[in-house]
């Protein structure tokens, strides 16, 4: 007769132990899921921020490196659909892709952002075909950094850029840096924003780089560097969004505007033409 009472007592004791244990387990499980979701969100937010470093006039070499690190980190936390979409987007924007398409770029970006939203389980995510994402740049940054060893030109040369546009030939020929009888034959506008312009100018024997902005005018360091024609034979062009970079001999990573020079091959040919006697 004591058996049912004993069983009931044991069951009650077990319930008293198991119920809190299950509750504790479920609570910890939810906390771990919340922590994991927070970790993913932070990594995805960093990725979104890094995207801004490769867009339009905001694109910089530092921004590109940050974007690369962020992409690599996503492989630790992203779902497989996100990684697949990321690889497709990277294939579109990589420098070696000579057949870039704005329409394809926007479609791949939209798919990538949509997959990220899915992985984060954001409420209200529309159907994949209805979601459209876009990237914005400030339109004000990406200024070329002046060379520390740039020579100074006289006030008269700097004044040419204040009163004439472009005045590049006069800036160089009045700088005191030309050789006797040396004259500028050709110029090429390489890079342009609302605040800065970079020009290449060639004489028969040398190539000059002129960086025109408020700081270089004030400092007199308009002419950034001078190369002999034989030093400038190696030219490498890297398109990247609205701002690409070009290496000319030992002078590396000079910005150029891709809206001025849409084809990397044509830009290389234009620079080579400058150097042709």
Q: Is the pLDDT of residue 162 over 50?
A: no
Tens-place pLDDT, residues 185-244: 999 999 988 789 999 999 999 999 999 988 888 888 899 999 999 999 899 998 877 788
Give Cβ neighbours of residue 185 (< 8 Å, ≥ 6 apart).
Answer: 202, 203, 204
Task: Please give the mean pLDDT across all residues of the chain.
Answer: 82
**Region of poorest pLDDT, from 2-16, 64-78, 152-166:** 152-166
Closest CA to 242 of 256, 231, 228: 256
Considering only residues 61 and 5, tell me which one the structure prediction assigns the higher pLDDT: 61
Provide the whole-model pTM: 0.50
Tens-place pLDDT, residues 243-274: 889 999 999 989 999 889 989 999 999 999 99
Enumerate the domain spans of the chain.
2-130, 155-275
Q: Reduce the secondary structure of the chain to three states and give it as a string.
A: CHHHHHHHHHHHHHHHHHHHHHHHHHHHHHHHHHHHHHHHHHHHHHHHHHHHHHCHHHCCHHHHHHHHHHHHHHHHHCCHHHHHHHHHHHHHHCCCCCCCCHHHHHHHHHHHHHHHHHHCCCCCCCCHHHCCCCCCCCCCCCCCCCCCCCCCCCHHHHHHHHHCCCCHHHHHHCCCCCCCCCCCCEEEEEEECCCEEEEEEECCCEEEEEEEEHHHHHHCCCEEEEEEHHHHCCEEEECCCCEEEEEECCEEEEEEECCCCCCHHHHHHHHHHHHCC
- Cα separation, 128 vs 137, in Å, equals 25
Q: For 155-275, CATH number?
A: 2.30.29
Dihedral, 126, 40, 55, 115 alpha carbons, nearest 10: -30
48 within 8 A of 55, measured Cβ to Cβ = no
Tens-place pLDDT, residues 90-139: 999 887 888 878 788 889 999 999 999 999 988 889 998 888 887 776 65
Q: How confident is the model at residue 17 (pLDDT cuts 50, 70, 90)?
A: low
């Amino acid at each position: 007769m004591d058996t049912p009472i004993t069983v009931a007592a044991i069951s009650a004791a077990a319930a008293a132990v198991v119920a809190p244990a299950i509750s504790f387990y479920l609570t910890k499980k939810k906390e771990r899921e919340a922590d994991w979701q927070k970790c993913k969100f932070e990594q995805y937010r960093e990725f979104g921020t890094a995207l801004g470093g490769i867009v339009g006039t905001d694109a910089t070499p530092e921004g590109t490196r940050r974007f690369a690190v962020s992409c690599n980190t996503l492989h630790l936390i992203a779902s497989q659909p996100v990684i697949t979409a990321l690889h497709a987007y990277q294939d579109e924007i990589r420098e070696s892709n000579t057949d870039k398409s704005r329409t394809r770029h926007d479609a791949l970006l939209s798919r990538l952002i949509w997959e990220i939203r899915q992985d984060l389980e954001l409420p209200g995510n529309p159907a994949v075909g209805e979601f459209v994402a876009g990237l914005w740049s400030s339109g004000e940054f990406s200024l070329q950094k002046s060379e520390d060893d740039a020579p100074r030109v006289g006030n008269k040369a700097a004044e040419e850029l204040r009163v004439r546009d472009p005045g590049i030939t006069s800036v160089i020929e009045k700088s005191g840096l030309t050789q006797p009888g040396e004259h500028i034959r050709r110029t090429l506008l390489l890079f342009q924003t609302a605040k800065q312009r970079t020009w290449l100018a060639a004489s028969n024997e040398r190539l000059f780089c002129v960086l025109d902005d408020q700081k270089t005018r004030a400092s007199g360091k308009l002419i950034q560097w001078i190369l002999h024609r034989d030093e400038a034979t190696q030219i490498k062009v890297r398109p990247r969004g609205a701002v690409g970079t070009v290496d000319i001999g030992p002078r590396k990573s000079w910005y150029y505007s891709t809206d001025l020079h849409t084809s990397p091959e044509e830009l290389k040919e234009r620079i080579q033409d400058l150097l042709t006697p």
